[in-house]
Structure 1
């Protein structure tokens, strides 16, 4: 998947500046796509030159002018084609922590402690994301239950992707707990 597809998906929510998109990426698509603000700005320029987005300049007092981007009909057509295209293969996982965990038995308890610290950090990051995603879930539901949300929401895609992010982070936390328990058992056996 290209970054442009994720940017266009974010622009389905409406017109946004590059700054708004960078902040919004954290809240809307960060559960399935990551990008730096610099990557977003470069991609917006490229997409504008390709006619996928249009930009208008908004004059501001005491601040630099800002550009607000929106999807063009051409961008919407590209996004529709992308949605209709069947992915060629499943996403490959490339996770440096998993490589370290794979190597945990090559040394002594010091190696186990180093991996343990990395697992704790992963668990803490996942727990923080999980809390952020739960807050976003509550905002999206706005007092409704899920059935009511799915029956009345204008767009259900953001909620469905949020559910995927919630499931992933819950799985990360559960895996980390199991890994930490087993690493402690291994360290105790080596002492």
Structure 2
């Protein structure tokens, strides 16, 4: 167990680690090793900011650590972590909405086209798609990331975002239509 988690545990309970705390720490450590990178990628897909994504994942694990005893089903820990990252990313977007940013339009005459290297072209295309996804309204962006990045079903997406399946379908349809227009591709 890390010194930070140990000190948090002692500070929150006032007693040293117990056998159950060790089991909790081992379980959370295993979850961290197995899913942290995926959670950071999820956060990045939702925010476009690596620092915010890492912070969202970190906050999710801290929250899981604090609330471990109140979880009825520890096998749902991965879903708990995903939901925590999505909620934290929503907070990031709310904070961003409060600040006004001036963005200079991209001038095509200043952009160098990549060479014929296929990897460079693929990277450019994925950056363009990611840029368009970031322009979508929050709920549409969340649905697109869950459905096409995380490859979740409509029902799983609805459960994660705590909306109806119909809402997932509606937001996915609107988001895809907006992406087709923004990327100038035929539906």
Larger helix proportion of the pair: 2
Q: Normalising by structure 2, what TM-score? A: 0.31
Larger strand proportion of the pair: 1
| Structure whose alpha-carbon radius of gyration is higher | 1
